[in-house]
Amino acid sequence: MSQKSDRGKIRRVFITGIAGSGASYLAEYILKEHPGVEVHGISRWHSTSKSENIKDILDKIRVYEADLMDFGSTFAVIKKVRPDAVFHLAAHANVRASFITPDVVLKNNIIGTSNLFEAIRLAEIDPIIQLCSTSEVYGQVDPKDVPIKEDCPMRPVSPYAVSKTAQDLLGFSYFTSYQMRIIRTRMFTYINPRRVDLFATSFARQIALIERGLQKELVHGNLDSVRTIIDVRDAMSAYWEAIVHCKYGEVYNIGGTVSLKVGDLLKKLISMSRSKIPTRCDPALLRPADVTLQIPCVDKFIKETGWKSKYTVEESLDFLLSYWRKRTEKEASLLMQAE
């Protein structure tokens, strides 16, 4: 099983959940930085984010309507596309919602991943597969294990984290049992304007709404959790480098090097605001269990790839706030037209 020989021959990639918040940025990154690579992906027919997240690149990518929960449609697309590399990003990824609908999250994320791996195996193709996991698998980390290395015990505390832990283990299982070229990455906190359920995105959206008089106060949950921050654009470049350089069967942490309390990040965003921003803690936004020390050691990934982040926290927050100011400008315009 060659680790390096065919890395430069990636001509066709396949992205699961390509219309999603992170995957759409990945598609944009590949089109911009690797223009000779064909970008294919699947999106469920009922995906409400499809038109918005990938509307600017629809003429440059190939999107197939398929659902990972349906093995037949998954197998048909995989057999047709026959990709050189697969980025598996599709997931039900809302941590708080996973406590409300645990069955849906567990079935979607675990069975969907199993169907994808089985489709690839039965199609008798041998792509490089990146299983995009999350730092949530580490759960409640003992302070002695911080910064978190890849061998830190996995102690998931939410149904979402349990589902991602199962995905992670499935990846190792298929690598070991079938020699499938699977690389597991565990992404730590990142700034993603297109994903509203992330705390930073929620803050930026609410600030933009308050600036336009469309909301009176910003509501938040736990502000004491400590996280490292990475820009979504840096995160997607890291995913590409993982496919090109990382070892099959291995797991790698990906994340930033700047650590902040969630409350301090909120203060930074408020300092960038054009208006006074009243805040209030909403108990409904507090999770039954929260992870509080999400500080990674990324030495293994950097050593393997030479990857470096490009954007500072301040640049990333400006990117985030600018995105939501533009979005709320559209919302305000629509409201005016309706009156």
CATH number, domain containing residue 24:
3.40.50.720
CA 253: distance to chain centroid?
13
pLDDT for 334 equals 54
CB 142 within 8 A of CB 257: no
Task: Give residue 189's identity as a one-letter amino acid code.
Answer: T
At 300, is the secondary structure helix, strand, or coil?
helix
CA 163: distance to chain centroid?
15
pTM: 0.92
List the alpha helices (DSSP H) in the chain: 21-33, 50-53, 71-81, 95-100, 102-106, 112-122, 159-178, 199-211, 232-245, 262-271, 299-305, 313-338
Q: Tell whether 239 is covered by a domain.
A: yes
pLDDT for 1 equals 42
Give whole-number Cα distances, 148 to 144, 186, 254, 299, 305, in Å.
Answer: 9, 11, 11, 11, 19
What is the total count of domains within the chain?
1
CA 64: distance to chain centroid?
20
pLDDT for 289 equals 66
Tokens representing 290 are 């929260």
pLDDT for 263 equals 96
Helix 112-122 to helix 159-178 angle (10° resolution) is 20
Give me the phi and psi of 83, to 5 degrees please: -75, 155
pLDDT for 332 equals 67
**Domain that residue 177 falls in:** 9-188+232-254
Helix 112-122 to helix 71-81 angle (10° resolution) is 40
Q: Tell whether 311 is covered by a domain.
A: no
Give whole-number Cα distances, 219 to 97, 165, 222, 285, 312, in Å.
Answer: 17, 30, 10, 8, 26
By CB neighbour count within 10 A (0-12 exposed, 13-18 middle, 19+ buried), where does 258 fall? middle
Q: What single-letter DSSP state applies at residue 149?
A: P
Q: Which residues of the chain have pLDDT under 50?
A: 1-2, 4, 49
pLDDT for 22 equals 96
pLDDT for 287 equals 74
Q: Tell whether 221 is covered by a domain.
A: no
Q: Tell whether 2 is covered by a domain.
A: no
Give me the count of residues in the chain. 339
| Residues 6 or more apart in contact with residue 175 via CB below 8 angstroms | 181, 182, 248, 249
Q: What single-letter DSSP state applies at residue 135?
A: G
Q: Tell whether 225 is covered by a domain.
A: no
Q: For 202-214, what is each residue's pLDDT tens digit?
A: 999 999 999 999 9
Q: Tell whether 277 is covered by a domain.
A: no
pLDDT for 2 equals 45
Distance CA 128, CA 207 (A): 41
CA 236: distance to chain centroid?
9
Q: Are strands 85-88 and 62-65 parallel, antiparallel or unpaired?
A: unpaired
- Please, what sign has the CA dihedral across residues 187, 188, 192, 194? positive
Block residue for tokens 């921003």: 277
Q: Tell whether 241 is covered by a domain.
A: yes
Q: For 86-114, what is each residue's pLDDT tens digit?
A: 999 999 999 989 999 999 999 999 999 99
Q: Tell whether 201 is covered by a domain.
A: no
pLDDT for 294 equals 84
